[in-house]
Structure 1
Amino acid sequence: MRRTSCRRPFAATLLAASLLAPVTAIPATPVRAAGADRYGEDHHPPGGLGPELAARLDRTIEDVRRQAGIPGVVVGLWMPGRGSYVRATGVADTATRRPMAADSFVRIGSETKTFTVTALLELVDDGLVRLDDPISAYVRGVPNGDRITLRHLAEMRSGLFPYTSDPDFIHDLLSEPERAFNPWEVLSYGYRHPNTFAPGEEFQYSNSNLVLLGLAVEKVGGQPLPDFLRRRVFRPAHLRHTLFPTGAEFPEPHPRGYTDQTLSGATADATDWNPSWAWAAGAMISDLQDLRHWAEVVATGSLLSPETQAQRLRTLPTGFPGTGYGLGIFETNGWIGHNGSLPGYETVTVYLPSQKATLVIMINTDSLSGGQEPSTLLARAITAVVTPDNVYAGQVVPPR
């Protein structure tokens, strides 16, 4: 098999090399009528960004989509005082040419981390855990677990080897992508390797960290993680179309997802691949309007105490210009949030406090373009147009 590095930034994903073949461009289209049924008038907020800026964004998104070979794109941009912009362009299914729709559900990959860490921080506010507790107090068998704290895990500074970088894991997953994994099983792949550095010394993005935090939340919260998230995060945040699947279930409507993360390197349809291997690090599903709301909840800390939110936003260097990482959250040239990537899908959900602006991007491929994630290319291009003083960077590892 082809060996892969699995070092994509902020991704609950595996890596491969070839690019998805470009698809025929179709014009950008406004939100379809079905979206209004689900969201009501809020899905068509009054006051667009104006025809000139909207046309410029249409051209920018379509240029990136074609150049990066992205089948379908949904973009939502909300800027109080300036207006809003919601567009779907391209196709949700490359076989039938079904158009991409703005009211679609998508797999959100590593954006799941913002939910898992929010749950942890709620337990901090409850006085049931402390960020500087060792993970060994909650989960047994973690290499160096008596020195690795919950804070180290949430900051991506534990030194634990990422299980998604283990060649046997890559082979086992890609040989049978519909199979179910449990958290202990995926962690065992990482435990075969020595830790990469002492706790707190460096930044290294590792899904192992978030799987362990999910287990800690389960133990302290006294419920399976999906149930705890529904009760303590989804409901208080009024997220009606966000879920933590137990298997490969995927609500309709959703686009087909395309990936080149296969043993052969050929592009495959990953829509029904089982995301259980990503669990607390990347298994969740959401939609445009829920992500729009969640961006502000995360960045402003409306579910947390001010003291805990201040700790969450205290970012540390990642080694890459313009981007720091806090507690399950990043800050990239002023934008706060997270992105997500797993086979077939990528998302970006970020909030710019200085303008109270929200940007959400959803696409149905994770195949790299020029060594970069296509969602990052879109976010960078869009923000260069609308917030030139705050251009999204979002890169924390070198292109492979």
Structure 2
Amino acid sequence: MSHADKRQRLCRKACVGLAAAGLLALPAASALAHAPQPAPQATLSAEPSPSGGFPALDDATAAKLDRAVQDVLKKTGVPGVIVGISAPGKGEYTRAFGVADKATRQPMAADFYSRIGSETKTFTVTALLQLAQQGKVGLDDPIGKYVDGVPNGDKVTLRELAGMRSGLLSYTATQSFYKALTTDPTRRYTPQELLDYAFKAPKPVIFAPNAQFNYSNTNLILLGLVVEKESGQPLSAYIRDHILRPAGMSRTSFPDDASFPTPHAHGYTQQTATGKTEDATDWNPSWGWAAGAMISDLPDLRIWAKTLATGVFPDGTRMVSPEMQKQRLDTPPTSIPGAGYGLGIFDVQGWIGHNGSLPGYQSLTMYLPGQQATMVVLLNTDIPYGPQQEEPSTVFGQALTRVLTPDHVYNLPAAAQKDMTPPPTP
């Protein structure tokens, strides 16, 4: 594999996770038309609705899901995966498959913690929306009002940053960042150091604001700085106090270092200087920060799937106002059929939420509003699958939804996750 190919892989997946997923991977999708914006997909309702059309999670359905997961494990070579599915009145399906440690063959377990990569973006943008409804920031304010030194900072808005339409180069797409990360994956980065990789590149602006969709982790680093400045708290503390605690998500954290609560699986990656598989369990996720450094587990992500999609905490209080939630869920479509991206959230064939990916781990947390169905997938590798270099979390999501919701099959093509930025100058 050439050095350029390895770099492109990292930027597609370590980009916590692609996106996130990449570095944070995710639907880095194709271009959208410039103004006017395409008509948004139907805004998803926060109101309860019956889970009609969703199968009972009985023994027969569980057997089908077991086979689907085992087939994906076999063909992708993923070491281990945790799957959780639930819907009101339909029961729950919780399983762990494969191994958590390839050396000892320790089995995967459903109570393991996992790094969740780009799902962190959903928390950072939620924090931004809370500050916006308090009048502390304006979504249509230019980022230059809050952070100095941003290319096009007088034009790019907070809304365009949250919606991946800023036109700012992702720092994870630069050769200089790739070299730094693969040289020392235990290094701790500051937010400004991450921004410098993008802003000091030969072409830090790759298109005019709102001209296209392009998944950029730079956007979230900037939004994290806005949250800190306007809230007066470190980002991790703000998310803990105003999102995690009210949601009852006691097993979700935003570490400021490489700490990783136990129990957890070992994570395996090929986002390395040599392209060989390495154990990335203890790599420092600070390079993902507001875009991808968080940790969670299956029960907490089940809570988050619905909370994120509805804007309502489990106790019935509002996480964000109905108007702010409506803005978040207006997801202009990309050129990928059935896929749209709103404010730190995406919609793929009706499933809304986010995926995550960083070296060693991938995750998928989705909610189908019409059925109130939740799907969580956690796996301990980010190594792409097949000639199309598909995200393994996408392969699992597709297999599961073919069984559960054949009219809403989660299918985010690999092409949607490729970084659109030009390759950096060698």
Do the structures match in fold with TM over 0.5?
Answer: yes
Partner of residue 325, structure 1: 341
Return the alpha-carbon distance in structure 2 between the equivalents of residues 389 and 145 of structure 1: 42
AA partner of residue 12 (structure 2): R
Give the AA of the match of 2:251.
H
How far off is 1:52 after superposition? 1.3
* Alpha-carbon distance between aligned partners in 2 of 1:10 and 1:297, rounded to the nearest angstrom: 22
Alignment-mate amino acid for residue 348 of structure 1: L
Deviation at 1:82, TM superposition (A): 2.0
Higher relative contact order (CA 8 A, sep 6+): 2
Report the secondary structure of 2:370's partner residue: coil
Output the CA distance in 1 between the equivalents of 2:227 and 2:281: 29
Q: Which amino acid aligns with 1:309?
A: Q
Matched, 1:191 2:199: yes
Task: Report the counterpart of residue 11 of structure 1 in structure 2.
Answer: 20
Per-residue CA deviations over 1:169-220 (Å, capped at 9, x if unaligned) read: 1011111000101100011001123211000010000000000000000000
CA drift at 1:83: 1.8
What residue is the counterpart of 1:116 in the other structure? Answer: 124
The equivalent position to 2:260 in structure 1, one of 226, 250, 254, is 250
State the shift of 1:79 in Å. 1.6
SS in 2 for 1:235: helix
Count of residues paired in the alignment: 369
Q: Give the Cα–Cα distance (whole angstroms) in 1 for the partners of residues 128 and 416 of structure 2.
A: 30
Q: What stretches of structure 2 of length at least 5 have no aligned partner? A: 25-54, 313-318, 419-426
Q: How does 1:16-27 map to 2 (within 5 A)?
A: none
State the TM-score, normalizing by the size of structure 1: 0.90
Cα distance per residue 1:296-326 (max 9 Å; x no partner): 0000011010000000000012221111000
Deviation at 1:11, TM superposition (A): 1.6
- What's 1:347 paired with? 363
Question: Deviation digits for residues 327-365 of structure 1, max 9, x if unmatched?
Answer: 000011111100000000000000000100000000000
Where in structure 2 are the equivalents of 1:233-382 lying within 5 Å?
233-302=243-312, 303-370=319-386, 371-382=389-400
Task: Check if 1:147 corresponds to 2:155.
Answer: yes
Aligned AA (1:372): E
Contact map agreement 1:104 1:253 (CA 8 A) in 2: yes
Matched, 1:387 2:405: yes
Equivalent residue letter for 2:3: R
- Give me the identity figure in percent: 57
Moved more, 312-321 or 366-375: 312-321
Moved over 2 A (4+): 7-10, 12-15, 394-400
Show the counterpart of 2:183: 175
Question: Partners in 1 of 2:333 and 2:166 — Cα distance?
Answer: 15
**1:153 Cα deviation from its structure 2 partner:** 0.2
Moved more, 284-293 or 185-194: 185-194
Alignment RMSD, CA only? 1.5
Letter in 2 for 1:250: F
DSSP-derived class of the 2:65 partner: helix
C-alpha displacement at 1:264, in angstroms? Answer: 0.6
After superposition, what is the alpha-carbon deviation per residue over 1:35-66, rounded to whole angstroms, capped at 9, x for unaligned?
xxxxxxxxxxxx97111111111011011011
Kept after mapping to 2: 8 A contact 1:88/1:100: yes
Residues 1:74 and 2:74 aligned together: no
Question: Which of these residues, 223, 226, 238, is aligned with residue 216 of structure 1?
Answer: 226
- Cα distance in structure 1, aligned partners of 2:333 and 2:248: 33
Residues 86, 93 of structure 2: 8 Å contact kept? yes
Q: CA deviation digits over 1:115-140, x for unaligned, max 9?
A: 00000000011111110001011110
After superposition, give the CA deviation of every residue in 1:256-280 in whole Å (9 maximum; x if it has no partner).
Answer: 0000111111000000000000000
Partner residue in 1 for 2:421: none
Query: Per-residue displacement from partner, 1:72-128 (whole Å, max 9, x unpaired)?
Result: 000000022222100001000000000000000000000000000000000011111
